[in-house]
Amino acid sequence: MTASLIHKLASMDQPIIPAAGDGQTMTLLSQSTFPALFLDGTLTTQTLLDENNQGLLTLSEYAKFCRDMALKKTTPLIGDLQSGFGSPLNTYYAAQELERSGADTIILNDQTYPSHSLNRPTTTTPADLLGKTKAAQDGLENDATELWIKLEGIWDYGTEGFQQRLHYLANIGADAIIIDHYTDDQLNAIIASTPELPIIATWTPNTPHKSGITAWLDTGYLARQAQQARQQALTELKKGAIEYAEK
């Protein structure tokens, strides 16, 4: 289904890939014309566990939900491999499991295990990341399944460290790089360096488009808006309950 998702994205005008973590949002997004949907680990953790820490969600729990959502998909589904759910050996089986569960593209991040939903997460060594990347590649059974690597430590290893990881990942054959937790200057520097792999950047509202970016990866805009709407509705509900009681 996504034999050339990254190429398809490159042919578009910096599309946004929306993130979801619940069925109703997935359905809503499926009815729109997005090129792919991301089943985000943090958003799924919020749905299934009522927690904000993606590291609490185990592979089997996430994969089950992924299978349910995959049955509904009308567009490529991107799965969240987090940091591989353990060592490179775990990553091998986890990538296989997510592919079998219907993910057409898989995102592996460079955090240490377990992953956390933080602005400044701890990242692993380049060698460990490469081991996990190779393991994920080997675990995939369908040549069409893409593997994107999400680098989350530019706040720590800097632009130079980011470029070094990107280069290593190009050597090993990753399909694309996602940059997260970046500053505008850092993103500009990465783009200006003519990266060897397609760059996808995480997106929040008001993020300006930049040439050199292949696509933008949403971080849960709809979920945050929905939560605000629920808060507002809750206020109305409480107000209504008080008025009813007073009558």
Partner 1 sequence: MLKNDRMRHQFKTDVMSGHIVRMMVAPDALAAKIAQSCGAKAVFSAGYATSASALAMPDRGISDFGFALERCREIINAVDIPVFADADTGYGDLDNVKRTVECYEAIGATGIFIEDQVWPKRCGHMDGKKVEPTEVLEAKIKAAKAARKHDDFLIMSRTDARAVYGLDDAIERSKRYKAAGADLIFIEAPQSSEELEKIHEAFPDTPMMANMIEDGKTPLTKTEDLERLGFNIVVHPNAMTYTQTYAEEQLVKTLQRDGTTKAYKDHMITFPKFNEFVGLDKVNARDAMYAPEKMAQFMTD
Residues near partner 1 (CB under 8 A):
67, 70-71, 87-89, 91-92, 100, 102, 125-128, 130-132, 134-135, 138, 141-142, 167-168, 171-172
Least CB distance from residue 77 to partner 1, whole Å? Answer: 12
Least distance to partner 1 from the beta carbon of 222, Å?
26
Task: For the CB of residue 128, give the shortest distance to partner 1 in the complex, in Å.
Answer: 7
CA pair distance 134, 239, nearest whole angstrom: 56
Q: How far is CA 246 from CA 143, 200, 234, in A?
A: 65, 55, 18
Cis peptide preceding 208, ω within 30 of 0: no
CB of 138 to partner 1, least distance (A): 8
Place of tokens 């079998």: 100
From the CB of 165, what's the least distance to partner 1, in Å? 10
Q: How far is the CB of 127 from partner 1 (least distance, A)?
A: 4
Q: 184, 132 in Cβ contact below 8 A?
A: no
What DSSP letter does each residue of 66-101 carry, written as one string? HHHHHTT-SS-EEEE-TT-SSSHHHHHHHHHHHHHT
110 or 218, CB closer to partner 1?
110
By beta-carbon proximity to partner 1, the closer residue of 128 and 152 is: 128
Q: Which is nearer to partner 1, 126 or 212 (CB)?
A: 126
Show the CA angle centred on residue 112, arms to residues 191 and 148, nearest 5°: 40
Tell me whether residue 67 or residue 210 sits nearer to partner 1 (CB atom). Answer: 67
Asked whether the beta carbons of 214 and 14 are under 8 A apart, the reply is yes
> What crossing angle do the helices spanning 221-246 and 23-30 adopt, rounded to 10°?
120
Which residue lies nearer to partner 1 by CB, 78 or 130? 130
Tokens of 21: 């973590």
